Copies of this chain bind each other. A is one copy, B any other.
Amino acid sequence: MENSQVNCKIEKEKLGELAEYLKIISDENRLKILCLLKHGERCVCEIHETLNLPQNLTSHHLKILREAELVIARREGKWVHYRLNDEKISYLTELYREIVLGG
């Protein structure tokens, strides 16, 4: 009972979740943001200045990352600090490993 159709059916529900994740992180600017946040929490202005992205574009990408729960926002006064959601990223990385790599 271990054929590829069965396997693909089992993984099918997770496939959409993985595809959505991959789509979100397949943007160069969003990858840069994630890469930057690996080194710790950053506010929006730090992100857009460091990466040389317009403020509104940075905000836009952060919204997408935030809605996908890949990053977590924390307001402190005027500033909004963003950090990685490590658990979510770990979970989705495991999904990638499961679906794309070994069974």
A72 beta carbon closer than 8 Å to chain B: no
Q: How many copies does the complex hold?
A: 2
A8 close to B28 (CB less than 8 A): no
Residues from chain B with Cβ under 8 Å of A28 in the complex: 15-16, 19
Measured CA separation A22–B22 after assembly (Å):
6
Interface residues, chain A, with chain B CB atoms under 8 Å away: 3-5, 7-8, 11, 15-16, 18-23, 25-28, 31-32, 34-36, 38-39, 50-51, 89, 93, 96, 99-101, 103
Give me 10 other A-B pairs in contact (C-beta within 8 A), A7-B35, A22-B31 excluded: A4-B35, A11-B35, A19-B28, A21-B26, A23-B26, A25-B100, A34-B100, A35-B99, A35-B100, A93-B100
